[in-house]
Structure 1
């Protein structure tokens, strides 16, 4: 995948991305435009949109993904969170994966961005509606047992072949994984 990259598919603090379809191209273009126009893109100002980072953590046998039942949003989602001013989305995804999973060792499968998802965050008493420019990376669990954090009602290993009924934000891992698995030689 790396040999097909060019400067249009790399961003400082985010990395390389190879769009696979029209959705990917649109999401990447939106992220690039946002990062070029917003000097505080990696911040957490409640009045503006911001870059977030997520981790799709695969089981050791690569057949399931670890999802969290997010306490605030009351939905099953991948692990992840805000960059909080740190301009390194992969670092943030790694940190959030450890904090939210309870796993003692995870491994980044590739430094390339796996997916980008731009989505609305509903208004709350603390902040207005805004966008999250979520940058997602692939990991594999290597040691430890999942333990839910205070941000989660529960954690579950969900078989990839059972994700079709989930929102596209989560189901994307099942749709893209076969191609990535081949490209990574796994």
Structure 2
């Protein structure tokens, strides 16, 4: 499987990524339905750290379920090309179309806990998102639009302001700071 090959080549930047890489690969080998929400324990997701052309701003959406500003992304829903998933989610969640990956390589890895919640009137049990993140560049002059069933705002933030805008402490401290730090390798 192409994704397993990409994951095996990926060089973790810290212990979190090292352990999460191992866990994600294990799940990919163990579960046939890992790219589908039918797997109630864990499923593959893709996120995008969307930056402007000068890499000094990041695009975030106000995520209704989590009541927080956050990165863009979503479920694979059967798609095994997670870069395509990330690109699709950026377009759906922000309304922008002038986007491209800075690299086809994986930018970051995370195993994310998702608390039980109501989505489209139905209860979704707590589960894990096996998340692959890509670095995406976008034109910050392009018009933004919300996706009302998922977010209530889309906005460009200075890198440090993006972290402060999130109300999710674990994401601020462990994910968003890491993503911003990695940007220095792409300037």
- TM-score interval w.r.t. the shorter chain? 0.7 to 0.9
Give the 5 Å matches for 1:74-89.
74-89=67-82
Match of 1:20 in 2: 13
Unaligned runs of 5+ in 1: 1-6
SS in 2 for 1:11: helix
Distance 1:58 1:163 in 2: 11
User: 63-72 or 167-176: which moved more?
Assistant: 167-176
1:47 is the counterpart of 2:40: yes
- The partner residue of 2:101 within 102, 108, 116 is 108
Distance 2:18 2:55 in 1: 26
Unaligned runs of 5+ in 2: 167-171
Residues 14 and 153 (structure 1 numbering): CA distance in 2 closer, same or farther, change over 3 Å? farther
Aligned residues: 174
Match of 1:4 in 2: none
Distance 2:97 2:8 in 1: 25
- The partner residue of 2:125 within 125, 128, 134 is 128
Residues 77 and 39 (structure 1 numbering): CA distance in 2 closer, same or farther, change over 3 Å? same
Distance 2:8 2:49 in 1: 16
Match of 2:144 in 1: 146
Contact 2:6/2:106, CA 8 A, preserved across alignment: no
SS in 1 for 2:12: coil
TM-fit CA distance, 1:161: 2.8
Q: State the TM-score, normalizing by the size of structure 1.
A: 0.84
- The partner residue of 1:170 within 173, 176, 185 is 176
What RMSD in Å do the two structures reach over aligned CA positions?
2.3
